[in-house]
Amino acid sequence: MAEIKPRNQILFGAAYYDEYQPSSHLEYDFDLMEKAGFNVVRVGEGSWSQWEPEEEHFRLDWLEPVLDEAHRHHIAVVIGMPTFSVPRWLARKYPEVSITDASGHKTNFGFREEHNYSHPVFRYFSSRVMRKITERYRDHPAVIGWQVYNEPGLAFNYSDDLFEGFKDRLRHKYHSVENLNKAWGLVYWSHELSTWDDLWRPEGNGSPQYDLAWREYELGLTSEVVSWAGAEVRQFALPHQFTSACIALNRQAVDESLVSADMDIPGSNIYFRMQDALNMPDAPELPQNTITSGAWSLRYSADRSFAMKQQPFYVFETNGGPIGGPADNYPAWDGQWRQAAYQLISRGASMIEYWHWQALHYGTETYWGAVLPHDRLPGRVYQELALLGNELKQLGGRVVDLQPESDVVFLYSVKSKQALAYQPHHAADTSNSHRQRNPRSYDEIMEAFYQGAFYTHRQVRIVHDNQLVADNEGQWLIEPAEFAHQNPVLVAAGTYVCSDPLLAWLMAYVGAGGHLILGPKATYADDYARPRLEVKPALADDAAGCSYQEYSNIRDDLDVSVEFPAAAGQGARARQWIECLVPTTGRVLARAVHPHFSRFALIVTNEHGAGRVTTVGTVPNRALSCALFDWAVKGTKGWTFHHPSVTVSSAVNRSGAKLHFLFNWSWAPVTVELPMGAVRIGAEGDVRSSQAVLGAWDVHVYTLGDN
CA 19 – CA 497 distance, rounded (Å): 47
CA 299 – CA 311 distance, rounded (Å): 15
- Looking at the predicted structure, is the pLDDT value of residue 433 above 60? no
Q: Are residues 326 and 431 in the same domain?
A: no
Q: Are residues 399 and 414 in the same domain?
A: no
Q: Are residues 504 and 597 in the same domain?
A: yes
Last residue of a domain, one of 632, 660, 677: 632
Residue 72 lies in a domain: yes
Contacts of 368 (CB under 8 A, 6+ apart): 320, 321, 323, 324, 325, 355, 356, 359, 360
Contact between 704 and 659 (Cβ < 8 Å): no
Q: Using one digit for the tens of pLDDT, what is the confidence trace for 178-223?
A: 999 999 999 999 999 999 999 999 998 999 999 999 999 999 999 9
- Mean pLDDT on 25-32: 98
Last residue of a domain, one of 386, 404, 422: 404
Residue 456's pLDDT band, with cuts at 50, 70 and 90, is very high
Residue 167 lies in a domain: no
Q: Are residues 621 and 484 in the same domain?
A: yes
Cite the beta strand spans of 474-563 per DSSP E.
489-492, 515-518, 546-547, 551-553, 558-562
Last residue of a domain, one of 380, 404, 428: 404
Give me the CATH number covering residue 676: 2.60.40.1180
Residue 211 lies in a domain: no
Residue 190 lies in a domain: no
Amino acid 566: pLDDT: 58
Neighbours of 74 (CB within 10 A): 12
Domain count, the chain: 3
The secondary structure of 405-451 as a DSSP string is --SEEEEE-HHHHHHHHHS-SS-SSGGG-TT---TTHHHHHHHHHHH
Residue 188 lies in a domain: no
Region of residue 113 (phi > 0: left; psi between -120 and 50: alpha; otherwise: beta)? left
Give me the CATH number covering residue 329: 3.20.20.80
Q: Using one digit for the tens of pLDDT, what is the confidence trace for 604-628?
A: 999 999 999 999 999 999 999 999 9
Bridge-partner residues for 391, per DSSP? Answer: none
Contact between 207 and 191 (Cβ < 8 Å): yes
Q: Are residues 412 and 400 in the same domain?
A: no
Q: Are residues 560 and 502 in the same domain?
A: yes
Residue 572 lies in a domain: yes
Q: Are residues 417 and 429 in the same domain?
A: yes
| Host domain of residue 93 | 11-156+223-404
- Looking at the predicted structure, is the pLDDT value of residue 431 above 60? no
Q: Are residues 360 and 472 in the same domain?
A: no
Q: Are residues 510 and 400 in the same domain?
A: no
Q: Are residues 507 and 412 in the same domain?
A: yes
Q: pTM above the 0.85 mark?
A: yes
Measured CA to CA in angstroms, residue 446 lies from 36, 380, 412, 458, 513 at distances of: 38, 36, 8, 15, 24
Amino acid 379: pLDDT: 98
Amino acid 437: pLDDT: 83
Q: Using one digit for the tens of pLDDT, what is the confidence trace for 236-275?
A: 999 999 999 999 999 999 999 999 999 999 999 999 999 9
Q: Are residues 416 and 395 in the same domain?
A: no
Bond from prior residue into 281 cis (ω within 30 degrees of 0): yes
Residue 195 lies in a domain: no
Q: Are residues 496 and 394 in the same domain?
A: no
Residue 210 lies in a domain: no
Angle formed by the axes of helices 336-346 and 295-307, nearest 10°: 30
Q: Any idea which of 21-35, 116-130, 327-341, 556-570 has the lowest mean pLDDT?
A: 556-570
Contact between 694 and 672 (Cβ < 8 Å): yes
Give me the CATH number covering residue 548: 3.40.50.880
Q: Using one digit for the tens of pLDDT, what is the confidence trace for 82-95?
A: 999 999 999 999 99
Bridge-partner residues for 143, per DSSP? Answer: 77
